[in-house]
Structure 1
Amino acid sequence: MVATTPPNILRFLAARADEGVDCVLITLVAVIGGSSRGVGTQMAVAADGRRIGSFSGGCVEDAVASEALETLKDGWGHVVRYGVGSPYIDIRLPCGGGIDLLFTPRPDPAAIKAALALLDSRKPATLRLECDCVTLLPDLSSGSWNGETLSHSYQPPLHIHALGQGEDLTAFTKLANAFGAQVHALCPEALTCAELEATGIATSHIATRTTLPLAASDPWSAIIFLFHGRDWEEHLLPQALALPAFYHGAIGSRRTHAARLEALRNSGVPEDHIARLRGHIGLIPATRDPATLALSVLGEVVAEYNALSQWTYWTGAALADAAQ
């Protein structure tokens, strides 16, 4: 994993609670001007000095950690501004803006662990954050900072089911795994499966061209076909399109994708399933090597996954219903 994720913050808090070490949860609740982080970004600081998360490239983290330790001593939560309009005139953000940070001492471990349990079961969770408490909400309702509370939603980690063979599959799954996604490789090649399993990537062997070894998926998963030969798609792709996912994609040229869509229609695949499929995927046009293809496709998938967290309450509720 290349950087801290929101669930990592929660796991840090839960682990420190199990150790009997007090913590402060710090949440970005408002942005003034520009900022490298968005509302809802979090950091946690333990009484013994350990910390996780960041709000900039290192400009304010030390000051935030010091403030957090003082908050534990004082025993009450509060909001502090850093950057423009801050009483700390010696701390400035390079973007020229300002951020308001909510310091919540000793967040309820039960609420934190309940949120983690939902995420671990591939369901979203929402916490209501206040100066003096953190509460798990029963639904995905969200609300901006009103001076007292912020309702912040967490979505399950990105899960990628990648089907293919050869270097295109290995390059993509290794890169996605290094990024921090939960990766599942599906491949007809026993040696490739063994190679990926040796790196810690979950694999499934595709024994036949007619049976997809994937029984379930969810709205926070991506299903990607990396086969160059469309003979592997004939029976497997319709089965994959019937599974829930925020992203269904298959590599290939525009001509290849047009032929793929025609074949799906001729085989009787429902139009609403066909509409889910993206072709000619990736952010970088005309990729010619496995590494660039992997980067191109992963970049597009991550962008789409991140967009899920920006959706409004009704969209989140619809996703939760779809996940059940």
Structure 2
Amino acid sequence: MTTEAADPVLGGMIEDADWPEFGWVDDVRPALRAALEAGRPAALATLYKVAGSAPRGPGAQMLFTPGADGQIAASGYFSGDCIEGDVANHAAQVLVDGAPRRLHYGMGSPWIDLRLRCGGALHVLLERIAPDAPAAMALLDNAAQRRTCIWTSDGKTQHVAEAEGPLMDLCEEPLRIARRYDPPRRLIVSGGDPGALAAARLGAMAQFETILLRPGGPHAPPPFPVSRYLREEPAQALAHLKVDRWTAYLGATHEDHHDLGGCLAALRGGAGYVGMIGAKSRAAQRLGALEAAGATADELARLQLSPGVPGLGKSPWEVATGIIAEIMQALNPARERA
């Protein structure tokens, strides 16, 4: 399946190549869903093997979808060097002829004009995803149902099964990859003051599936994009949102009758991160209230009552930045486990 290098002039086909915001995308499933719902195919590129130093590890992905204007919309990145444009060139061919490609960049590559500044080597599998592909539909259904699944492919035949496993597994000859997909990382923030809104907005920018809860709040949604806006009590909302280890909950209403119920529901649901903003002087009282409500010692040990990274400052954006960083650290082990 290894191919010759595509015409480098085609690199201009990537939409917004001058300002590659597409590189901010880490989960290609939303872009895949948009393509399939529009009845368009997609080219999925999976980094399946890395040698030496590299910005991304095995399992990193890019998705390429054709637009009506002839440009290719890209999501994700591999190196930040020049190879994204070349991968897009090959993706354009895959979209047309459906034949998978195995691409090799860096050390040992036949394309000496495409160098990696890190000095390593990247091996990429490109495969076409048809708009009605059963495996793609199963992948998106598992994401919607918040189930872990494994995508198995040789570039031509694709299969999805609900299962656990390493992020990336590989059989090289004949090539067959198995890539694990976890439920999307999710952030649930309860509150409506500047600090709560800053945390929700940063979470959405960091591509968490962000849900803002504001009990009895205004009917109009917040003035920035979130996945969902709910006006329910946090405990009530978490009961039907199905908390799991890829979920972070932040209580930031500053009202214990809201935040304590939300924290208890998140802890009992096995959330990967549970925090509550408030003065340290209130910590003992809050712990006592949770214990009286039935929280176990193990659950209370997982609760962050002074969330965030110390020393960043006390403005809403500074506090929110520290909290989002702490949440990322807490959720990453579930995402990267072997």
Cα deviation digits, residues 46-72 of structure 1 (max 9, x gap): 575524232122410121122334456
Contact 2:312 2:318 in 1 (8 A): no
In the alignment of these two chains, the number of paired residues is 305
- Indicate the SS of the match to 1:89: coil
Cα deviation digits, residues 184-203 of structure 1 (max 9, x gap): 2223463xx44644545433
- Indicate the SS of the match to 1:137: strand
Cα deviation digits, residues 147-200 of structure 1 (max 9, x gap): 02121111222222212341111221122223332222223463xx44644545
Shift of 1:78: 4.1
- Indicate the SS of the match to 2:336: coil
Structure 1 stretch displaced more, 117-126 or 279-288: 279-288
Which residue of 1 is the match for residue 90 of structure 2?
67
Structure 1 stretch displaced more, 223-232 or 35-44: 223-232
What is the alpha-carbon distance in structure 2 between the residues aligned to residue 80 and residue 213 of structure 1? 46
Cα deviation digits, residues 257-301 of structure 1 (max 9, x gap): 355334433554222322331232213436311111111111221
What is the alpha-carbon distance in structure 1 between the residues aligned to residue 279 and residue 30 of structure 2? 38
What is the alpha-carbon distance in structure 1 between the residues aligned to residue 182 and residue 284 of structure 2? 34
- Structure 1 position 250 matched with structure 2 position 250: no
What is the alpha-carbon distance in structure 2 between the residues aligned to residue 297 and residue 306 of structure 1? 14
What is the alpha-carbon distance in structure 2 between the residues aligned to residue 63 and residue 15 of structure 1? 27
What is the alpha-carbon distance in structure 1 between the residues aligned to residue 149 and residue 113 of structure 2? 37
Return the TM-score normalized by structure 2. Answer: 0.77
Would the alpha carbon gap of residues 238 and 78 (structure 1) be closer, same or farther in structure 2, given more than 3 Å must change? closer
- Structure 1 position 152 matched with structure 2 position 179: yes
- Structure 1 position 265 matched with structure 2 position 291: yes
Which residue of 2 is the match for residue 311 of structure 1?
337
Which residue of 2 is the match for residue 82 of structure 1?
105
- Structure 1 position 124 matched with structure 2 position 148: yes
Would the alpha carbon gap of residues 248 and 146 (structure 1) be closer, same or farther in structure 2, given more than 3 Å must change? same
Contact 1:104 1:133 in 2 (8 A): no
Which residue of 2 is the match for residue 94 of structure 1?
117
- Structure 1 position 287 matched with structure 2 position 309: no
What is the alpha-carbon distance in structure 1 between the residues aligned to residue 257 and residue 142 of structure 2? 39
What one-letter code is carried by the residue in structure 2 that aligns with 1:7?
Answer: R
- Structure 1 position 32 matched with structure 2 position 51: yes
- Percent of paired sites with the same residue: 25
Which residue of 2 is the match for residue 42 of structure 1?
61
What one-letter code is carried by the residue in structure 2 that aligns with 1:181?
Answer: F
Would the alpha carbon gap of residues 134 and 260 (structure 1) be closer, same or farther in structure 2, given more than 3 Å must change? same
Structure 1 stretch displaced more, 274-283 or 44-53: 44-53
Would the alpha carbon gap of residues 13 and 140 (structure 1) be closer, same or farther in structure 2, given more than 3 Å must change? farther
What is the alpha-carbon distance in structure 2 between the residues aligned to residue 9 and residue 113 of structure 1? 13
- Indicate the SS of the match to 1:309: helix
Gaps of 5+ in 1: 313-324
Q: CA RMSD in A?
A: 3.0
